[in-house]
């Protein structure tokens, strides 16, 4: 058994009591005896409750622009090939890895609609981008939070108290503020009045 100090580790636990099960995030507040023979997983009982979960260490501050960052492109619904995604992402930095759809664990030749790629960013990527008539969703550690309702930074949709913004206005603002290439709009190019 290994005794954990109160500040050592954080984790996610599935707690089962006599009446219910509950998933929580937690920080250990008191030293606790836990079997760490699996290194990352634990299981123990305290009073009548059983605790089972996985421990992880704090990962530190997010990477800065210019450092290696893993960018995730998600919910693509396979609308884009990897060359189209690369043409979009390259506007924000250097792609250091190969773009491939992630395989689903345990299933041969079946892929998720998610792409992960290593990049060195020279500017932040908005989490929602127009790409060939569809919406591309990106995510990485340190990415500024963008509301999907009003398209303002600093809060998420469910916390938004603003009026719903027009998608066309958002796309036009990207053209102006980020110099986003018109060619990447695809079918949306004819819907949005953009001065060349």
Read off the pLDDT of residues 94-104 as tens digits, 9 standing for 90 and up. Answer: 999 888 887 77
Tens of pLDDT, residues 129-145: 999 989 999 999 889 99
Indicate if the pLDDT at residue 182 is higher than 50.
yes
Give the Cα separation of 191 and 193 in Å (integer).
Answer: 7
- Mark whether 23 and 108 lie in a shared domain: no
Of 56, 78, 94, the position where a domain reaches its end is 56
At 128, the pLDDT band (50, 70, 90 cuts) reads very high
- Mark whether 140 and 170 lie in a shared domain: yes
Distant-in-sequence, close-in-space partners of 128: CB < 8 Å, separation ≥ 6: 135, 136, 137, 138, 146, 148, 151, 170
Retrieve residue 168's tokens.
Answer: 């066309």
Retrieve residue 164's tokens.
Answer: 């719903």
- Mark whether 89 and 127 lie in a shared domain: yes
**Residue 196 falls inside a structural domain:** no
Contact of 84 with 91, CB cutoff 8 Å: no
Predicted pLDDT of residue 120: 95
**Residue 129 falls inside a structural domain:** yes
- Mark whether 84 and 112 lie in a shared domain: yes
**Residue 175 falls inside a structural domain:** yes
Tens of pLDDT, residues 37-59: 444 566 667 777 666 666 655 55
- Mark whether 76 and 51 lie in a shared domain: no
Residue 190 DSSP label: G
Sequence-ordered alpha helix ranges (H) in 95-189:
167-177
**Residue 86 falls inside a structural domain:** yes
- Mark whether 184 and 156 lie in a shared domain: yes
In the block, tokens 């760490």 appear at 36
Partners of 111 in beta bridges = 103
Contact of 125 with 153, CB cutoff 8 Å: no
Of 56, 85, 102, the position where a domain reaches its end is 56
Give the Cα separation of 183 and 189 in Å (integer).
Answer: 8
Contact of 110 with 104, CB cutoff 8 Å: yes
Q: How many domains does the chain have?
A: 2
- Mark whether 97 and 171 lie in a shared domain: yes
Domain of 45, in residue numbers: 2-56
- Mark whether 75 and 26 lie in a shared domain: no
**Residue 62 falls inside a structural domain:** no
Using alpha carbons only, give the angle 161, 163, 168 rounded to the nearest 5 degrees.
135
- Mark whether 117 and 174 lie in a shared domain: yes
- Mark whether 174 and 121 lie in a shared domain: yes
**Residue 195 falls inside a structural domain:** no
- Mark whether 24 and 94 lie in a shared domain: no
- Mark whether 25 and 104 lie in a shared domain: no
**Residue 61 falls inside a structural domain:** no
Distant-in-sequence, close-in-space partners of 171: CB < 8 Å, separation ≥ 6: 130, 180, 185, 188, 192
């Amino acid at each position: 058994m290994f005794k954990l100090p109160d500040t050592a580790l954080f984790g996610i636990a599935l707690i089962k009591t006599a009446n219910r099960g509950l998933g929580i995030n937690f920080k250990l507040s008191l030293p606790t005896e836990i079997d760490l023979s699996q290194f990352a997983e634990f299981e123990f009982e305290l009073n009548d409750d059983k605790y089972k979960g996985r421990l992880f260490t704090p990962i530190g501050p997010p990477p800065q622009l210019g450092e290696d960052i893993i960018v995730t492109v998600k919910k693509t619904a396979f609308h884009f090939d990897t060359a189209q995604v690369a043409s979009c992402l390259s506007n924000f930095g250097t792609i250091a890895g190969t773009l491939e759809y992630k395989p689903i664990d345990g299933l041969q030749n079946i892929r998720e609609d998610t792409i992960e790629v290593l990049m060195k960013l020279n500017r932040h990527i908005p989490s929602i981008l127009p790409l060939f008539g569809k919406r591309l969703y990106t995510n990485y550690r340190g990415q500024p939070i963008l509301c999907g309702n009003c398209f303002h930074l600093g809060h998420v949709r469910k916390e938004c108290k603003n009026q719903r913004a027009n998608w066309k206005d958002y796309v036009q603002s990207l053209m102006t503020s980020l110099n986003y290439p018109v060619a990447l709009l695809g079918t949306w190019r004819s819907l949005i009045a953009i001065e060349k």
